[in-house]
Structure 1
Amino acid sequence: MDKNICRFSEGVVTLPSGYCERTLNTLNDTRSILPTITISRDSLGNHNSVEEYIDSQLSILKSKMKEWLQEPYELVVLGDNLTSGILINYSFLRPDKVRSYQKQAIFTLNMEDLLIFSVSKSSVLTNADNQCFTDTLKSFKTNL
């Protein structure tokens, strides 16, 4: 895949010199009933592993959020066994006193770049919500 090109639903752009693509895709239910799924990109940066990256990011979140609750990490698969990643489930109390529930699946596609799928909701994620998220992960196909 050409790292100088950024492809998105509406088209393609050439990245200016020194830029990297860090698009955030938001998948919304047209009826605004189902939880939002986002796809974002990041890099390991100064971290030696995806686990170290996750621990660093979560420590930042935990320091800013109240009543943080987190389940142990799980392994998760992307696409048709393209790669495995780490699944994290957590919730916290937002400043408006509403609990937010989130699930993130974090994958490395190479030695540096991360692909992060997230789902969030202001109520507990249902079995249908979790299945939708799992189905989205399973449907992934690479352009590489």
Structure 2
Amino acid sequence: MKTKLNFFCIVLLILMIVGMVMAGFAGISDFKQGYEDGMNDSGTSAYSIIEGLIIFACFIVYIYAFACYVRFILNVNHGEVFTWANVDLLKTVGWCIVVTTTVMCTAMSFDSINLLDTWSDAISVITDGIFILIMAEAFSIGLKLKEEHDLTI
């Protein structure tokens, strides 16, 4: 059972890393295009600076969510499955993903030409975050049942 869990966790970590790398490459090309457009323009707007800061802050929050997920996996591998710390870690990961993706796509929507492209990927990421929140709630219910069972004679 633990081997299966480790396998799925490794696959998920690999997919998360591949997604981050692919987003990085897309960001590099978008940065290059923005840089070239900025060099041709006489000045930068305050909105573009704020948008850049929002995207950078979202990136930091994503890294924090990734670290929380890794801590969750390590806790499970050490046999600490139904603990309140794991519930908190899952809730943190889920809310970081949902809120950060919503904020980032909202900030990018103001200067986006095609809102469908902007939000199509965001919807799947937000769905993943909500799934993680559902798993956190399932862990919470399981933990409450375990504590109730421990108190029963």
**TM-score band (shorter)?**
under 0.3
Using the size of structure 2 for normalisation, the TM-score is 0.22
Bigger share in helix: 2
Q: For the pair shown, which has the larger CA radius of gyration, 1 or 2?
A: 2
* Structure with a larger share of its residues in strand: 1
